[in-house]
């Protein structure tokens, strides 16, 4: 596991989001995103990892959740279904934009473009139940 000494520089993106590079590999970042207000993820603190591939910024960063989350666009491995991390990537986009987009995805799940089909099905057939499950997972894991 990469070193995580407190002397590292924190890139505080915006309130509720921080990204801190690992000392031994400046292409890896530890990211922390606070769950958005008025969402089932409110009061949760979600840890993610972000990696800048060798061909960045021509290729998107690799980002995944380390904290378990019940969300139709995030699978059990923490992979994220977000267009700007795939075919809508542009070298003009900043890491800040990526992290803000991930936080926005927590506020507005899209079960019509799922990565976790079972969660998306639950969201479509019983949204109140899915929201309760998401809130419970946030309390338990984040």
10 part of the active site = no
- As to burial, measured by CB atoms within 10 angstroms (0-12 exposed, 13-18 middle, 19+ buried), residue 91 is exposed
Q: What gap in Å lies between CA 4 and CA 8, rounded to an integer?
A: 7
Handedness of CA 120, 126, 128, 134 (dihedral sign): negative
* Active-site residue, selected from the candidate residues 17, 63, 81, 115: 81
In the numeric block, the tokens 């603190």 are attached to 45
In the numeric block, the tokens 């949760």 are attached to 44
At 63 the three-state DSSP class reads strand
Q: What are the catalytic residues?
A: 81
């Amino acid at each position: 596991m990469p070193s995580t000494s407190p002397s590292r520089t924190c890139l505080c993106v915006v309130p509720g989001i921080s990204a801190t590079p690992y000392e031994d590999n400046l292409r890896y970042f530890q990211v922390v995103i606070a769950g958005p207000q008025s969402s089932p993820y409110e009061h949760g603190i979600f840890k993610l990892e972000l990696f800048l591939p060798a061909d960045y910024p021509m290729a998107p960063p690799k980002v995944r959740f380390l904290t378990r989350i019940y969300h139709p666009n995030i699978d059990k491995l923490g992979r994220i279904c977000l267009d700007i991390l795939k075919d809508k990537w542009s070298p003009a986009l900043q890491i800040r934009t990526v992290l803000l987009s991930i936080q926005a995805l927590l506020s507005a799940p899209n079960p019509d473009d799922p990565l976790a089909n079972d969660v998306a099905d639950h969201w479509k057939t019983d949204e109140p139940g899915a929201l309760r499950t998401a809130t419970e997972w946030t309390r338990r894991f984040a």
